[in-house]
Amino acid sequence: RNSMSVWKVSLSTSQENADKSNRLLDAYVDAETGRIYEFYVRIEDDWEQLKPENIVKRWSEYINSPF
C-alpha cells in the first residue's frame, strides 16, 4: 500500500451569504511536494463554455510533468 500526506486547503469567509462565484473553494495539495491533486471552484459559466477537453488535457500535462 502506498500512502501520502495531503493538505486540504479550504477558502472560506465568516460573512453570511457571501458571494462565492468565480472562487476557488477547496484544493488538495501533496504535503511533501506542493503538487495540487484536486481542486473545486465555483464558476458562473456553463461547463461547455470552458472547453472541458482543454481543461482535461492541461490538467493531465500538469499531473504527469516532473515537479
Give residue 27's pLDDT: 87
User: Three-state SS string across the chain, please?
Assistant: CCCCCEEEEECCCCCCCCCCCCEEEEEEEECCCCCEEEEEEECCCCHHHHCHHHHHHHHHHHHHCCC
Provide the 3-class DSSP secondary structure of residue 47: helix
Provide the 3-class DSSP secondary structure of residue 59: helix
Provide the 3-class DSSP secondary structure of residue 52: helix
Mean pLDDT by 10 residues, the chain (67 residues): 84 75 79 86 77 84 75
Confidence (pTM): 0.62
